[in-house]
Amino acid sequence: MASAQRTAQKKKVHIKQEWCKGCGICVAFCPKGVLTMSPRGKVELDAPKCSGCGICGMFCPDFALVLQEEDVQECLK
């Protein structure tokens, strides 16, 4: 049986470090606990553990967290 490929959309959080003021609101609201504050006072993301839910971006007062879609190739058998 031949396999087919399709493109799926996966959402990923991107951090605009220059916009982050280090308030920590996104860290407090992240349901997965993948956001932390760096020693220099900026938010950091453990990307492989992020589910892409976007809750952090909804609560960020500075719009420093943006949820963007990425193309992901899936192999169907």
8-50 confidence digits (pLDDT tens): 557 889 999 999 999 999 999 999 999 999 999 999 999 999 9
Beta-carbon neighbour count of residue 54 at 10 Å? 14
Residue whose pair of structure tokens reads 């799926």 in the numeric block: 8
pLDDT for 73 equals: 52
Q: Does 57 have pLDDT greater than 90?
A: yes
| All domains in the chain, ordered by first residue | 13-72 (3.30.70.20)
Q: Report the distance separating Cα 62 and Cα 31, nearest Å.
A: 20
Residue 34: exposure state from Cβ atoms within 10 A (0-12, 13-18, ≥19): middle
